[in-house]
Amino acid sequence: MNNDQIKSVIKDPLSFFELNDNLLGIVGKHFNTFTALSKTRKTDILLALIAKAIRSHSATVILCKSGYGMEADSIVRSMFEDLVNLTYILNEIKRETRARRYIEHIKVQQFFMLEYTKNKKRFKKEFPWDIYQVRLKAKNQFYKRYKRPNKYKWSGYNFKELCKKTGCSWEYDIFYNLASQHAHSQPIVLNQLVSAKVDDITTFSAGPQTKGQENNLIGAFDMLRRIMEVAAKYFGKTELLTELNTLKDELNKSVAHTNKERPLVNLGE
């Protein structure tokens, strides 16, 4: 996303609903009946993340239509994380080390979860020692096979570093921080729940509202579009790339029109 997209505040985001519906239609046209031979780990990961991205996008639109756009922040943030991970994995052209590492890291996480619980009294009787031994072996192999092994970070890099390696530093500094505010219950989010404040009495609203719609409709659109761009290039779908670029232009026109009609508002306030 660009600065204009991030800063736009839209009172009537119907056009953004339409754009997201159009995007989902294009994606469905190319991938609803799409099949690919599962020959590589990269293909498996890509197809799985496409399915997840479509579900996440649909969930975001449903929440926004229902008046719970703010609650979609975490979903859109997750889509960005998937885009970064996918880009890093597929950027390795000649080998599949990153794809294999991505898949195998779950066993490392499982080992450390078992390691944490194995000495807990309440788990001693039913502790799965056989699985623990298998995961211990997998963890040792992982730490021996890969550079920078880490029990939390599958790539060995923190997410900020991974964003830098995939050319997504700007999105990390601006978009990711904004999308993380709701998940971390930051004051700016809590202030948006205030419906009235009279003297010393503050009223909070837990019902539907329009706040958060515009940013997450744009964010979900952009994340799904970019993930599908990666997929289109990987599978050689030139028609899909053309259609995605056309939709991108339509989004930019809509945002530019909105910013021309209404003054920009600082989202940090």
Residue-level pLDDT at 225: 97
Q: What are the boundaries of each domain within the chain?
A: 3-91+210-261, 95-165
Q: What is the pLDDT of residue 211?
A: 81
pLDDT score recorded for residue 267:
39
As a whole number, the mean pLDDT across the chain is 87
- Interatomic CA distance for residues 91 and 69, integer angstroms: 33
Nearest to 108 by CA among 67, 154, 69, 62: 154
Query: Per residue of the chain (269 residues), what is the pLDDT tens digit?
Result: 444 443 443 444 448 999 999 999 999 999 877 777 667 899 999 999 999 999 999 999 999 999 999 999 999 999 999 999 999 999 988 788 999 999 999 999 999 999 999 988 888 888 999 999 999 999 999 999 999 999 999 999 999 999 999 999 999 999 998 889 888 888 888 888 887 788 888 888 888 888 888 889 999 999 999 999 999 999 999 999 999 999 999 998 888 877 776 554 443 33
Residue 202 dihedral angles phi and psi, to the nearest 5°: -115, 130
Burial of 70-96, coded b for 16+ CB within 10 Å and e otherwise, reads bbbbbbbbbbbbbbbbbbbbbeeeeee
For helices 97-117 and 129-145, the axis angle rounded to 10 degrees is 140
pLDDT tens per residue across span 63-86: 999 999 999 999 999 999 999 999
pLDDT score recorded for residue 47: 92
Orientation of helix 238-261 relative to helix 14-31, angle to 10°: 180
CA distance 184 to 85: 22
